[in-house]
Amino acid sequence: MTKSVKNIILTFIIGCLIFLIGNFLSDGFRFNGINAFLAEFVVYQLYSFVLGYSNMFFFDYMERRPWKKGDTIKRIALGIAGSTIITLIGLFILRANTEIIFNGKTFSEFVANETWGNYSFGLWITLTIVTIFHVVYFVAKYQKNKLKEQKVIAGTASAKFDALKNQLDPHFLFNSLNVLTSLIEENPDNAQKFTTSLSKVYRYVLEQKNKDIITVDEELDFARTYMSLLKMRFEDSIIFEIPEKASNPESKVVPLSLQLLLENAVKHNMVTSSKPLHIKIYETSESLVVENNLQPKQIVKKSSGVGLENIKQRYQLLTNRKVKINQQAKSFAVAIPMLTKQISIMRKQSHTPTEFDESYVRARNHVEELKGFYYSLISYVFVIPFLIFIWYRYTPHTIQWFWFPMFGWGLGLAIQAFRVFVNDGAFGRNWEKRKIEKFMRDEEDKRWN
């Protein structure tokens, strides 16, 4: 079923509901024959179609706009304001055409006899429906974001599992032990150095397994240790170039990315004294590049692509910047982004399922606040129109008492929305955190002074 057909069916259902509500509030379903019933039903359907479709078009337009993360309140305010204007214009045009075409009035006569009462019912009904649409939309969006968040968490766990499983290829370990065995007999001094370097490799793997990013300098130091293992194994058949330090000490990369790229270079290329493998690590403006001369092995097992794919997936969880691959006729290079901002993935730090890190607790509390706000908003949308109906049906119209709960409750909702959606400012979402940090700093200063 296409979107247009769904919208037509939806506007027809809304028209039927408004027809029932309008007649229930006015004359209690008293009609002068079937023709009068059909005529009024058609008029309600016409109003529903024009107002419904125009507001749906406006809603779709608002949805296509590039909203920022903190624009929720702005999005709601503009949506309701736009719907009000569109509804009033639509009601004016519909009423003008009805009075001029069917009742034979002139435009001046029509304008002279218009009052607010001719628009209040249609406006209240439309705004109620639009508000419900907004509630449904934001609840659905919240659920979608929540699902995306769960996918990120699951993807992080999966990527880290694959990283641990594939960081050091079993063939590398097997070959390293073979090299160690031969070195023990031929050159005990080199065997001792080899064992020390191999222990550093595994210690680094264990230390970095729970980190999302590390400094480039740390990764370069580890790469030098890993290179020393390869150098003992292949001797003059492999040549390395690597910078001493990163140009920006704060730049970061995902851990063990260089090891996986170095291992791939050795795994997929011939490494002989007659054709030495040249591996160069260097920086560009925003990336760390691992480049080697391309001399593919004649017989090589089919690559699973796990190592490079592992790096790509971990970067996808951290940033929008991509891992770039550049294969030329005589060279192969992989550029991994260097990150300059502090980025971390929300994850469990402890080994028990009930202990979470501080970021997860804050996120969980914010989700609870969001749920509370949406529940309050849904209640407001349904209860206030019901109170207006009670006033209209059963109390004298001289005292419009429904404004008191509408204003009071609405003010409470506005404060709650500010608390949930606004990060900064007085009593914003980060206000409590800032006050606690300030109090702790003041106490620390008093203690030292």
Task: Decide which of 277 and 15 is more confident.
Answer: 277
Given pLDDT bands bounded at 50, 70 and 90, which one contains residue 354? very low
pLDDT for 8-27, tens place per residue? 777 787 777 777 777 766 65
**Which amino acid is located at 297 in the chain?**
K
CB atoms within 10 A of CB 259: 23
Report pLDDT for 323: 92
Task: Decide which of 254 and 29 is more confident.
Answer: 254
| Superfamily of domain covering 173-337 | Histidine kinase-like ATPase, C-terminal domain (3.30.565.10)
38-47, 79-88, 336-345: range with lowest mean pLDDT:
336-345
Given pLDDT bands bounded at 50, 70 and 90, which one contains residue 341? low
Residue 351 Cα distances to 22, 347, 357, angstroms:
60, 11, 11
194-198, 240-244, 349-353: range with lowest mean pLDDT:
349-353
Task: Decide which of 39 and 280 is more confident.
Answer: 280
Sign of the dihedral defined by the CA atoms of residues 365, 366, 368, 372, in that order? positive
Report pLDDT for 346: 43
d(CA 267, CA 271): 9
Residue 259 has pLDDT above 70, yes or no: yes
Report pLDDT for 338: 92
H or E segment and range at residue 401: none
230-239, 340-349, 388-397: range with lowest mean pLDDT:
340-349
Mean pLDDT of the chain, nearest integer? 76
Most confident of 222-236, 377-391, 426-440: 222-236
The rounded percent of the chain whose pLDDT value lies above 70 is 73
Question: Look-up: residue for tokens 């995306």?
Answer: 148
Report pLDDT for 350: 38
Contact by Cβ (8 Å): 91, 122: yes
Task: Decide which of 160 and 109 is more confident.
Answer: 109
H or E segment and range at residue 332: strand 331-337
Residue 170 has pLDDT above 80, yes or no: no
**Which amino acid is located at 438 in the chain?**
K
Given pLDDT bands bounded at 50, 70 and 90, which one contains residue 45? confident
d(CA 84, CA 126): 8
The DSSP code for 82 is H
Report pLDDT for 331: 93
For 427, the 3-state DSSP assignment is: coil
Sign of the dihedral defined by the CA atoms of residues 394, 396, 401, 403, in that order? positive
Task: Decide which of 385 and 305 is more confident.
Answer: 385
Report pLDDT for 299: 64
d(CA 254, CA 109): 74
Given pLDDT bands bounded at 50, 70 and 90, which one contains residue 319? confident
**Which amino acid is located at 387 in the chain?**
L
- Pull the structure tokens for residue 195: 């064992």
CA neighbor of 87 nearest in space, from 52, 45, 111, 113: 52
d(CA 119, CA 192): 90
Report pLDDT for 238: 93
Q: What average pLDDT score do residues 326-332 get?
A: 91
Report pLDDT for 379: 77
**Which amino acid is located at 105 in the chain?**
K
Q: What average pLDDT score do residues 123-150 get?
A: 73
Report pLDDT for 73: 80
Report pLDDT for 398: 61
Task: Decide which of 171 and 233 is more confident.
Answer: 233
pLDDT for 48-82, tens place per residue? 888 888 888 888 888 888 878 777 788 878 888 88
d(CA 132, CA 380): 10
Strand pairing category for 238-241 and 277-283 = parallel
Question: Look-up: residue for tokens 């997936």?
Answer: 313
Which residues, 6+ apart, have CB-to-CB distance to 268 below 8 Å? 296, 297, 300, 303
Given pLDDT bands bounded at 50, 70 and 90, which one contains residue 337? very high
Provide the whole-model pTM. Answer: 0.44
Residue 334 has pLDDT above 90, yes or no: yes
